[in-house]
Amino acid sequence: MVAVITERLKSCAGTKGRDPSRTKSYMVTGAESETLAVAMADAYAPVLYGNLVKQNLSFDPGEAPDIWYIDVQYGQMQPKEPGKVQWQFNAGGMTTHITHGLAHVQSYFASGSGEADPHDGAINVRKDGNGELVIDGVDIGGAGGGFTWSETHWLPYASFTPAYVFGLYAMVVSTPVNSTAWRVWSAGEVRLLTISGSASGEDQVELNFNFAANPNLTGLTKGTITGIDKKGWDYMWMECDTGEDTTAKRLAKKITAVHVEQVYGYGDFTSLGLVNVPWG
């Protein structure tokens, strides 16, 4: 028989106050032994419940030999013991200058200007005084964004494995923008700015995450060009040429093309393993 675990209706009972606690309750059926049932519940139950951490498991036999009722208790991490070693780390936050995007998303052209060159993803292309094309590029990284916030989460030291550390590093460096809807934001709107952490001994790891959000935009108008779409963390730049301003009866810079470039990689934010916060 295949062992199956389900969460019971009474799950999530708890207490509030100076020593808050929560209990998740499970029923395991088809388990050949107490050891298997407890191991299944331990693996199935999340490490964190809000800001509380998984601590103890209690179990009772059910009405049949292959049924077990298991409660997983969550509580505050115990105070540190004297003499523990403390360490810290940081990932992200650097600014980088780039001349080309990861991918050219779209170009929009003014009526009558023809199909201008999208420049193979080059960013901020212009003509210098000799009429030669120059690529100015753009600085990416840093903070940016109209809405920024930080979160602090606590993990048991045992859950902070090298694989998890390198996963965090890879995301903040290579794929810091959400590839799918995450919490209340649509794909492409949130960027993971930095992650920092510290730990004392083998009790717990404190992780600090910093995020920024930019909205996805549709139907933008630049000059005479309309219907421009741009994801929150894509980069948009305008290509201009000299044209006649018929109203002012003088020469003026006219937008002839709008280019949208992808400058950040996209990743799955659920792999961060963060519980939802009040907005999501």
What whole-number distance in Å separates Cα of residue 141 and Cα of residue 132? 29
- The least confident of 46-50, 79-83, 262-266 is 79-83
Task: Give me the percent of the chain exceeding a pLDDT of 90.
Answer: 16
Q: Tokens for 87?
A: 């360490």
pLDDT at 92: 56
Residue of higher predicted confidence among 98 and 261: 261
**Identity of the highest mean pLDDT range in 14-23, 183-192, 217-226, 237-246:** 183-192
Mean pLDDT, rounded, for 112-124: 70
pLDDT at 18: 75
Question: 156 exposed, middle or buried (CB, 10 Å; 0-12, 13-18, 19+)?
Answer: middle
Mean pLDDT, rounded, for 169-191: 92
Average pLDDT of the chain, as a whole number: 80
Q: What is the phi/psi pair of residue 234, to 5°?
A: -75, 160
Banded model confidence at residue 276, pLDDT cuts 50, 70, 90:
low
Please list, residue by residue across 96-110, b when 16 or more beta carbons sit within 10 angstroms of its beta carbon and e when fewer do: eebeebeebbebbbb
Residue of higher predicted confidence among 41 and 146: 41
- Annotated domain spans of the chain: 4-75, 83-280
Per residue, what are the HEC states of 34-73? HHHHHHHHHHHCCCEECCEEEEEEEEEECCCCCEEEEEEE
Nearest to 150 by CA among 185, 194, 204: 194
Residue of higher predicted confidence among 90 and 254: 254
Is the model's pLDDT at 82 over the cut of 50?
no
**Identity of the highest mean pLDDT range in 30-34, 130-134, 187-191:** 187-191
- The least confident of 25-34, 119-128, 243-252 is 243-252
Asked whether the whole model's pTM tops 0.75, one would answer: no
Whether 214 and 232 have beta carbons less than 8 Å apart is answered as yes
Banded model confidence at residue 178, pLDDT cuts 50, 70, 90:
very high
